[in-house]
A and B are shown apart, each in its own frame.
Chain A
């Protein structure tokens, strides 16, 4: 290898490191106990085994352990003094220490992931997949329809409409959140309904309009005329010719819009109740009330990243193709 190639590879490697480092830190963080959260770890820290001298109340506070669930599991009725150590507990209520250990140890050792799961991660994940999926799908379809009408700007009002869509992009979402909330709840009656978040995601659609309008403008008009010559109507053109060609721009649109919708925190917080939160809002809510369980928060962040990473890996080819689209004439 020549020297400039080595330099290039080195720089690329450095760039990868810088890009990937936060993800690595996130994974380490997800397994770092909250008590050590002020320390910096380069590798997963060793977990101390559960000490039978730990007090139940302290464990409950630090690890957000549900004391009621513990009592039910152990068959204890009534008030338990949180000042008791686990050893004293075993003695007082005649429990086998192994039984206490078996229930508590995983909650301490894998506290983050378990808390997230027990707080309803899967339900929240499904909600997020639903909201993001419908938003990307319907938003893309609307974008294709808008784009096919506007492409080429054949009439003065086409450009005007296009600019209106673009205007949408510069309005800060925070500024319109109150009127939007009023419209959703009072006018549309979509109080605590996933539909409200979906509607917010697909409204306006500056990005989809931009992507599809510019891509459709590159499709030769002869394709449309050819359908016309063969006796096809506009919807034949739309379904048989235009739609099948939309894979590339759709991947462009999805790869940009999907993370944004997936990571949307503001709108679910405002429009949904905690039982329906999508992932970012869910993660923000699992921190706890009186203390902050950092382990759980970081675990939640890590877990909510995994699905979208998977989607990217699965559709990688398509996204890459969309990135080079236009480089080669079809």
Chain B
């Protein structure tokens, strides 16, 4: 049993509280990603699970057993650090053998397990090299090997891919996924990169300023973000938010008065909607039958474009604010011509004044 239960956990450094009473359940055999902006307390939470940091308040249970007062090694966790923390003067072989040596395993057993792990991670040729003679990706694999070799119940990763270049990061992401499936391991993975989170996670925990904002599968947090923060954090480029001054309901649906006084007609929306969000990929150019906005020539201005080859993002300045949208590469937006944009009202996210998500009444 390697389920991790976090109950009312707080962390204080001196007088500053950086984690404010968190409850979380990390399911056995799942890869859970802690995601949040830098400084929100992800590493601190991970280090409390690992036992590297005292728990100021609350209880952490692993496999049902309270571990607050257990040493790191007694918790059955292994950790992969951002800078890999390989012992610089020891060969790959000795680095990987170190945890077993500490556990006082017989030499033959150590050699056998090092060989098996090296094979799994394709490190066999590198066993006698020093960490400084390895590439970033190889160091990363050695660090994982050293974590795996003790056969821990739980793997903890603290931004392990952030020192790698983009291409390697994708490869290592796949590698970690593969290992997770093969070992059926429970993994907790800290990152501030939402792409990493979306691609790796079974479950994403989104944190902000020492609190959990939402827990859910990648698709859940993408489709139904619990609040404006999550909505803005997940997805790249970020979701567009449009302030709403007033919502008037009539027989056909809701009429929104936007910040600049223009109106938008959408399906039935909750009356206390203070802002709506729409993702760049859900906006189309041209008039469609329902939610749409038109702008006269001169009312809209292009403030930038990103061409990625297969798609391109356009950044527009509109009377009610700025807007990002996904458009086909060949689409030309002419500032001297009128412009119309439209979207499916079902894609619209509604948020209350305090940023909370508002559910639309089932149509």
Instruction: Give A contacts to B, CB under 8 Å.
Output: 220, 222-223, 225-232, 236, 240-241, 244-245, 330
Q: Are B85 and A226 in contact (CB under 8 A)?
A: yes
Q: Are B87 and A230 in contact (CB under 8 A)?
A: no
A229-B73, A229-B78 are contacts. A245–B102 as well, Cβ < 8 Å?
Answer: no
Expressed in whole angstroms, the Cα–Cα distance for A228 and B98 within the complex equals 11
Expressed in whole angstroms, the Cα–Cα distance for A241 and B98 within the complex equals 11
Q: Are A229 and B50 in contact (CB under 8 A)?
A: yes
B73 and chain A: residue at smallest CB distance: A231
B interface, by DSSP: helix, strand, loop or mixed?
Answer: loop
Q: Are B98 and A230 in contact (CB under 8 A)?
A: yes
Expressed in whole angstroms, the Cα–Cα distance for A225 and B143 within the complex equals 13
Q: Are B79 and A330 in contact (CB under 8 A)?
A: no
Q: Are A222 and B71 in contact (CB under 8 A)?
A: no
Report the minimum CB–CB distance from A134 to chain B (whole Å): 26
Q: Are B83 and A220 in contact (CB under 8 A)?
A: yes
Q: Are A232 and B132 in contact (CB under 8 A)?
A: no
B99 and chain A: residue at smallest CB distance: A230
Please report which residues of chain B, range 19-52, place their CB below 8 angstroms from some CB of chain A when the two chains form the complex: 50-52
A225-B52, A240-B98, A330-B88 are contacts. A230–B150 as well, Cβ < 8 Å?
Answer: yes
Report the minimum CB–CB distance from A249 to chain B (whole Å): 14
Residues of A within 8 A of B81 (CB): 222, 225-226
A224 and chain B: residue at smallest CB distance: B85
Set A223, A232, A236, A240: member contacting B85, Cβ < 8 A: A223
Residues of B within 8 A of A226 (CB): 79, 81, 85, 87, 146
Please report which residues of chain B, range 81-115, place their CB below 8 angstroms from some CB of chain A when the two chains form the complex: 81-83, 85, 87-90, 98-99, 102-103
Residues of B within 8 A of A244 (CB): 89-90
How many A-B residue contacts, CB cutoff 8 Å? Answer: 56
Instruction: Write the B144-185 contact mask toward A (1 if CB under 8 angstroms, else 0).
Output: 001000100000000000000000000000000000000000
Q: Are B132 and A330 in contact (CB under 8 A)?
A: yes
A236 and chain B: residue at smallest CB distance: B102
Let me know if B77 is at the binding interface, CB within 8 A.
Answer: yes
Using a Cβ–Cβ cut-off of 8 Å, how many residues does chain B contribute to the interface with A?
24
Please report which residues of chain B, range 53-75, place their CB below 8 angstroms from some CB of chain A when the two chains form the complex: 71-73
B47 and chain A: residue at smallest CB distance: A225
Expressed in whole angstroms, the Cα–Cα distance for A228 and B102 within the complex equals 10
A236-B102, A240-B98, A330-B132 are contacts. A228–B72 as well, Cβ < 8 Å?
Answer: yes
Residues of A within 8 A of B79 (CB): 225-226, 229
Expressed in whole angstroms, the Cα–Cα distance for A223 and B102 within the complex equals 15
Residues of B within 8 A of A232 (CB): 98, 102
Q: Are B52 and A229 in contact (CB under 8 A)?
A: yes
Expressed in whole angstroms, the Cα–Cα distance for A228 and B77 within the complex equals 11
Expressed in whole angstroms, the Cα–Cα distance for A68 and B99 within the complex equals 72
Expressed in whole angstroms, the Cα–Cα distance for A244 and B146 within the complex equals 20
Residues of B within 8 A of A231 (CB): 71-73, 99, 102-103
Residues of B within 8 A of A330 (CB): 88, 132
Residues of A within 8 A of B72 (CB): 228-229, 231
Residues of B within 8 A of A222 (CB): 81-83, 85
Residues of B within 8 A of A220 (CB): 83, 85
Give 16 pairs: A residue, B residue, CB < 8 Å, sorted on A. Answer: A220-B85, A222-B81, A222-B82, A222-B83, A223-B87, A225-B79, A225-B85, A228-B72, A229-B78, A230-B99, A230-B102, A230-B103, A231-B102, A240-B90, A244-B90, A330-B132
Contacts A226-B87, A228-B72 known; list 7 others, CB within 8 Å: A220-B85, A222-B81, A225-B79, A226-B81, A229-B50, A230-B98, A244-B89
